Structure 1
Amino acid sequence: MSAGPGAGRGPDPEVGAGADPPEGSSPVRGRADLASARRVVVKVGSSSLTSAAGGLDEDRLGALVTALQAVRGRGGQVVLVSSGAIAAGLAPLGLVRRPRDLATQQAAASVGQGLLVAAYARALAPVGAAVGQVLLTADDVVRRGHYRNAQRTLERLLHLQVLPVVNENDTVATDEIRFGDNDRLAALVAHLVRADALVLLSDVDALHDGPPSRPGSRRVPLVASPADLAAVEVGGAGAAGVGTGGMATKLDAAALATSSGIPALLTSAALAAAGLAGQDVGTWFAATGRRRPTRLLWLAHAARTRGTLVLDDGAVRAVRERGASLLPAGVRATTGGFAAGDPVDLVDGTGHVLARGLVGFDAEEVPAMLGRSTAELARSLGPGHDRVLVHRDDLVLVPR
């Protein structure tokens, strides 16, 4: 029998422990506060680091490092989430554009990742600063057995005044590499390290109300709520052929961060220094919610679920209205090949997803438990089965 995430424990130790900014930090309420923010996560896209001929542009990368070093020089801390490994590997492999097949993408990432980190190390060498490479997937940021280790590693690097350069682990990723979503990874890292702000750098200077190349298109200086995006036209990835995110993933990342208490700035890499100095550049996304555990944030916005639990009406009310844990007695059916600790969808009788959570048992154990009380399960299946299927600390409601 598998011990799930809610087994034999009280309140989740992450709740509360990860809810507040680092001690001594100043709240970032507006863009001007970036000039004194204690800890900032900066994400830069591939198109901002590469030249028109392909490969890394050392001048662009050096300008970015100068902007980051200005923050570090005033006593601030920076975690850099950097795309560019695949782009850096194209020229050495004789490729002119980002390959479409996964195997060649991973080969390019394998060649390019070392070049990318070496370029950052060269740029920081004159000031005697060290660079630390941190390769992550989404699971490393949020899964119970992984995220604490990632958090400890990043905290230690910052304590040692090393610049962490974080990238998705493209050489082994599967779904993640197809989407190339380092924007989302950066938002999750911002929560992981309890950053004061997230800065998303790309090849456009700000969010505009239409395509930036269209005459009359205007910069959107402030997004105070999702309603401010209602009339905005969002385009796809840039024309350089080396990036994959586009504006849509940047807006998703900004929403992911701001809905849980971390404001975000979206601007171009060329304006990074001005943005980090608190100047009126780019688009500022105001924080709209309160900080919550990274795991729950991931469940709400980024989880790829491994199965489904179909709830009866009573369980739907208990989960949605009372914030209760999900008991086996309230589940009608299950689908999927999940293992204990995997994310699953909780759906009502019509198939509508009302919540996501980390399930406490393997898929093959669950059918024998459905519709039965915990007391009955303990009598018939033995001690250890008298537990919840999804603990309330490992469950998040999905907006209707």
Structure 2
Amino acid sequence: MTSQDTPNWLPLTPYRSGDSVPVTYPEGSADDSAPFAGHASDLRKELATAKRIVVKFGSSSVTRPDTTVDSESINKFVDALQARMEISDIIVVSSGSVAAGTRPLGLKSRPRDLATKQAAATVGQVHLAAEWGSSFARYHRTIGQVLLTAGDAGQRDRARNAQRTLERLMQLRVIPIINENDTVATSEMRFGDNDRLAAIVAKLVGADALVLLSDVDGLYDRNPAEPDARFIPEVRTGHDLQGVVAGDGGPLGTGGMASKVSAARLAARAGVPVLLTSAENVGPALRDASVGTVFHTRPERRLTAWKFWALYAADAEGVLRLDAGAVKAVTSGGTSLLPVGITAIEGEFRRGDIVEILGPDGTVVGRGEVNYKSSVLATMIGKHTEELPKSQRRPVIHADYLSNFATRL
């Protein structure tokens, strides 16, 4: 599918002309007196008119405390999504499959071991998809369930196939409901949480905005239950996050505020602005983006599509360990990695594979496409270019194919 085949925005309309159901945005719990509401900015205006949006719902938003699927809440979410679809293309990322499968399996709490989680996911995915489907059917809309693993995004051909599938679904006026494929994902091949999955999907489909909805109204510098907690309406750079303490996920989910901030910064680095708020505020979030915390992009530091894929989605086939000087060189930007700065290699890889780059203390500093297979590179470690035969004087990783984590928002 070429860019000419796929328009940037495909408006979704009810299937039967003249038969659509009038909708309005649900108001939610937001009011202008709350610290997380009543905000306005140029970015919020852009979010309010974005043509393609990925909207992510957390487990606690779509399931009740007893782990049953919350039909009433899903109906409210769909009402808001339907209203926004008058101007925007919507892709939904929905957590909750493991939680939704807990009670039907007779389990008293969310499972912890991988096999039981996967078993619960197989049951919960059916329940969740049925609820989303029946709710959207009120507006004569069809959904399509899309289950992804990290491997789907990590292999370029599979990522392209996923992208084409999502584009075709939207051309057919089907709303994609995306979840991580917990039934087959291993602990080594997971996105980790659906916040990160949503950020990767947003980049994959060329979204104009990402909306992360959970049970928290936005970003605070500490637990919002604390009396002195300060609300943070805008995040422009990493400096806005100094001193922020973000917690882990609740009993029904795997993510938490730390996960959401990480995903928001990931999407922003890919050029996708983010709105972070609670699912209760879905109405104003999708209507005028006046609630929650927004994360700005920085065009001058935006990653190319390839570097984003290599850094955050690709499968790493090996590891290169660097000395301090090499780390400084490759993280400063525009510098290729040479053999002299490599202290050790791990794994078996081929030319063209993605490898992870670690500093002396084991910290991951970046990733890149390696120019030599591991057996050849092992003979080059620590050598200056002039010490190598002419056939080995190419950089180990060229600067154009090296992406690092040092660049901050």
Q: 2:88 maps to which residue?
A: 76
The answer to whether the Cα contact below 8 Å between 2:58 and 2:95 also exists between their aligned partners in 1 is yes
Deviation per CA, 1:182-220: give whole Å up to 9, x if none: 101111111111111110000111112321222343432
The answer to whether the Cα contact below 8 Å between 1:49 and 1:60 also exists between their aligned partners in 2 is yes
Unaligned runs of 5+ in 2: 12-40
CA change 1:206–1:145 in 2 (3 A) is same
CA change 1:374–1:168 in 2 (3 A) is farther
Match for residue 187 of structure 1 among 190, 199, 203: 199
CA change 1:375–1:336 in 2 (3 A) is closer
Give the residue type in structure 2 aligned to 1:173.
Answer: A
Q: 1:7 maps to which residue?
A: none
2:134 maps to 1:122:
yes
CA change 1:126–1:24 in 2 (3 A) is closer
Give the residue type in structure 1 aligned to 2:115.
Answer: A
The answer to whether the Cα contact below 8 Å between 1:208 and 1:220 also exists between their aligned partners in 2 is yes
**Structure 2 counterparts to residues 1-400 of structure 1, below 5 A:** 22=8, 29-72=42-85, 74-175=86-187, 180-238=192-250, 241-289=251-299, 290-301=301-312, 305-310=316-321, 319=330, 323=334, 325-326=336-337, 331=342, 333-339=344-350, 341-347=352-358, 354-368=365-379, 371=383, 376=389, 378=391, 389-399=396-406
Give the residue type in structure 2 aligned to 1:63.
Answer: K
CA distance in 2, matches of 1:315, 1:267: 40
The answer to whether the Cα contact below 8 Å between 2:267 and 2:273 also exists between their aligned partners in 1 is yes
CA change 1:265–1:175 in 2 (3 A) is same
The answer to whether the Cα contact below 8 Å between 1:87 and 1:108 also exists between their aligned partners in 2 is yes
Deviation per CA, 1:283-313: give whole Å up to 9, x if none: 1112234543344224445667443224589
The answer to whether the Cα contact below 8 Å between 2:147 and 2:178 also exists between their aligned partners in 1 is yes
Pairs aligned (count):
371
Unaligned runs of 5+ in 1: 1-13, 379-384
Q: CA deviation at 1:354?
A: 4.9
CA change 1:278–1:366 in 2 (3 A) is same
Q: Structure 1 length normalisation: TM-score?
A: 0.81
CA change 1:75–1:146 in 2 (3 A) is same
CA distance in 2, matches of 1:395, 1:178: 23
Q: CA deviation at 1:392?
A: 3.7
Q: Structure 2 length normalisation: TM-score?
A: 0.79
The answer to whether the Cα contact below 8 Å between 1:137 and 1:176 also exists between their aligned partners in 2 is no
Give the residue type in structure 1 aligned to 2:80.
Answer: A
The answer to whether the Cα contact below 8 Å between 2:9 and 2:51 also exists between their aligned partners in 1 is no
Give the residue type in structure 2 aligned to 1:398.
Answer: F
The answer to whether the Cα contact below 8 Å between 1:179 and 1:245 also exists between their aligned partners in 2 is no
The answer to whether the Cα contact below 8 Å between 1:29 and 1:263 also exists between their aligned partners in 2 is no
The answer to whether the Cα contact below 8 Å between 1:33 and 1:278 also exists between their aligned partners in 2 is no
CA distance in 2, matches of 1:302, 1:229: 24
- Partner of 2:218, secondary structure, is coil
Deviation per CA, 1:206-243: give whole Å up to 9, x if none: 112321222343432222222122132212212xx210
CA distance in 2, matches of 1:361, 1:43: 40
Q: CA deviation at 1:46?
A: 0.5
> Percent identical across equivalent pairs?
47
Q: CA deviation at 1:32?
A: 2.6
Q: CA deviation at 1:47?
A: 0.7
Aligned alpha-carbon RMSD (Å): 3.3
- Comparing 171-180 and 181-190, the one that deviates more: 171-180
